[in-house]
Structure 1
């Protein structure tokens, strides 16, 4: 906040938007898996104002933000679904192993993480449903299904002896 104020980023922006953007920026710089969707309800300003303030902070201050990876979201999704530690670990490994597949796909990291947890849990015991994963993670069933199919194809290709 102080850096934003010193850089003159406050004029024309709501203090709540800059404050929320500052907290989000700290999360991004430290690699914490948080989304802007989580900040808007408590910031008392529209998400668009938080996004605008974050972009200004990032540009003007040259923040060392880190890309958020699906692997960073796996623990949160896994905890919310109360899956075993084994499923959590294997889902995180799957997210890491497939990170190149998703890098330029436009898929959200949280959606990929949810699909990784679903894919591994389905293989383990088949008890977890796409609907439950969708409800808990806030990702649509269709997205979980699509990403699950992509993950299955990836695993089939990499398991094949003829894979490159």
Structure 2
């Protein structure tokens, strides 16, 4: 891959990865352990934080796709880029709406049953982390 697009893609990928790790695997679980944070409060905060994260992810994914598109990448980089983007799209289009409907019910005072969608979101996050690590390493290695 060409040096400048590889540097841009690498920076965007590792920024994206850091944001996912910080929010999904650090902030989200800890928020509910803080004193005085109710489920409703945690859900309200979580929705705002994940909406912002998902917007940032979409911007970073767009930057990665653009850099890869102009960088003469190999098949591995194209494949890993597609995997990361598809995982994000599945989260945003299929899983987040289910989670939002459930949190709407809880915030309205209903008792909602546990949702498997939360586990699906976490599994997709784990797969996305693996894809982003592989993509970032592959992009940087291709520029060397």
TM-score relative to the length of structure 2: 0.29
Higher helix share: 2
Higher RCO (CA-CA < 8 Å; seq separation 6+): 2
TM-score relative to the length of structure 1: 0.26
| Larger Cα-atom Rg | 1
